[in-house]
Amino acid sequence: MSYEDFRSRFDEARNQYNVLALVGNGFDIQVLTSLGSLTDTRYESFYHFLKYRKFNPSNRILGRMESLRSSGAEDWSDVERAIGELHLTDRVAPDAIAADLKKVQREFANFLDGVATPDVLSQLGEAAVEHELTVFSFTEFLGDVAEADEYHKMKLPTRLNIGDVFNFKFVNFNYTTLLDDFVYLDQDQFEPHPYETSDRNITFRPNPRGHEGARERAGFRMVSYLVSEVVHPHGIQSTPRSLLFGVDEVSNRRARKLSKPYWAQNNLKYGDLFSTTDLFIIFGCSLGETDRWWWRSIVDGLRQNERADLILYWRRGSADTGLTAAGLRDKLASAAGFAAHDGVVELLEERVRVVLYDDNTERAWLNTNHATLPH
């Protein structure tokens, strides 16, 4: 899969900028919290669901979840890493692990049906429409880079012009369609052809914070084009047998049974995207090693395209009080499997803008809480 060139589809399009946005479970948790849901998509919530359902206690995946819970692990990537350890450390046959995973898969689909319900999706959509959260996210996100010197390190703002095409491709690592619902271009927020004499359909703000020395002033809006698509490489809630749990790429042919990139056909479907991406955005992801294919591909994309940028969002929790932008770049380099001497840390320092935020931080990108939208 490569990006489609939409410029010929519009009357007055100039350049096209491809934005690859990777979104993890942090978004779903944010949505469910903002809506006051009684449960969420954390693996601990799923663990309690399994216990309530009296799920088979001999299932190896449940056993690993119990061990992780007692050790304080919080992320789904911890569970997936434990799946790899079942094979590599405990020497459990991949077929046996896959059989246990299939039973968990079925229960997880039932769990999601009780969490991401049609009512929850409707509430999210209604909130997005009422406060114009979707279009605000698409058009104001460059304002999330709060520091002027960090903003000025970006390539994208210096390249933009009126009439450009913003082509967003969302890689939704979540199995729910909460993200799909939120970014859907509905009839209230978006009109494909709003003007009589032009087919441009959005107004984009390249400098929402009004950083001094920028190419455009704070109030300037570019009349542009917007295209958006969502893909689910790890499966989707409505198709239970599509849900993928597992590890990253493996060299052992038998262990392919557990490899997410293998079954998702990452190289075939997504491998061509990275070298032609102008902006990568990572949001709500734990940067676990079980998704290393994606992190390494992003780093390779930054290497191949010297004009590409990356915005890396990270919600600062109680355990992250000392986390810095440099520390998060190091975390990404490690998740991608690069050692310090590979020159990757220097590359990420140059090309990655880090947005550390908490629940009270003003933010445009994928913000489901209208009270913290920038004003």
> Average pLDDT in the 146-159 region?
96
Report residue 60 as tokens: 């190896």
pTM given for the model: 0.95
pLDDT (tens digit, 9 = 90+) per residue, 171-204? Answer: 999 999 999 999 999 999 999 999 989 999 999 9
Please spell the DSSP secondary structure of 171-205, one letter per residue: EE-SSSSHHHHHH---TTT--SS--SS----EEE-
* Residue 161 DSSP SS3: coil
Judge whether residue 11 has pLDDT over 80: yes
pLDDT (tens digit, 9 = 90+) per residue, 81-100? Answer: 888 888 878 888 989 988 98
Report residue 263 as tokens: 């079954």
pLDDT for 322 equals 85
The average confidence (pLDDT) of the chain is 93
Which stretch of DSSP H or E encloses residue 282?
strand 279-283
Give the C-alpha separation, 58 to 153, whole Å. 53
**Residue 200 CB-density burial (10 A; 0-12 exposed, 13-18 middle, 19+ buried):** buried
Judge whether residue 342 has pLDDT over 80: no
Confidence tier at 78 by pLDDT (50, 70, 90):
confident
* Residue 22 DSSP SS3: strand
pLDDT for 92 equals 86
> Average pLDDT in the 322-329 region?
92
Q: How far does Cα 107 stand from its chain's mean position?
A: 24
In the chain, pLDDT over 90 holds for what percent of residues? 75
Q: Higher pLDDT residue, 68 or 185? A: 185
pLDDT (tens digit, 9 = 90+) per residue, 103-152? Answer: 989 999 999 999 999 999 999 999 999 999 999 999 999 999 999 999 99
pLDDT for 73 equals 72
Give the dihedral sign, CA 67/235/226/13. positive
Q: Show the 3-state SS of 287-309.
A: CCHHHHHHHHHHHHHHHHCCCCE
pLDDT (tens digit, 9 = 90+) per residue, 27-36? Answer: 999 999 999 9
CA atoms within 13 A on the CB side of 104: 25
Report residue 146 as tokens: 């709060």
Give the C-alpha separation, 262 to 258, whole Å. 8
Judge whether residue 61 has pLDDT over 80: yes
Judge whether residue 361 has pLDDT over 90: yes
Q: Which strands make up the sheet holding 16-23, listed edge to edge?
A: 202-204, 222-231, 165-172, 16-23, 279-283, 309-315, 352-357
Which stretch of DSSP H or E encloses residue 311?
strand 309-315
Q: Go through 317-345 and write b for each residue having 16 or more CB atoms within 10 A of its CB, e for each that does not.
A: eeeeeeeebeebbbbbbbbbebeeeeebb
pLDDT (tens digit, 9 = 90+) per residue, 205-263? Answer: 999 999 999 998 888 999 999 999 999 999 999 999 999 988 888 888 888 888 999 99
Cα–Cα distances (Å) from 89 to 63, 82, 293, in that order, read 15, 10, 22
Q: 165 and 224 in contact (C-beta within 8 Å)? A: yes
pLDDT for 71 equals 76
Judge whether residue 348 has pLDDT over 80: yes
List CB contacts of 371: < 8 A, sequence separation 6 or more: none
> Average pLDDT in the 261-279 region?
96
Please spell the DSSP secondary structure of 344-360, one letter per residue: HHHHHHHHEEEEEE-TT
Please spell the DSSP secondary structure of 214-253, one letter per residue: -SS-TT--EEEEEEEEEE-TT--TTSGGG----BS--S-S
pLDDT for 253 equals 85
Please spell the DSSP secondary structure of 43-55, one letter per residue: HHHHHHHHHHTT-
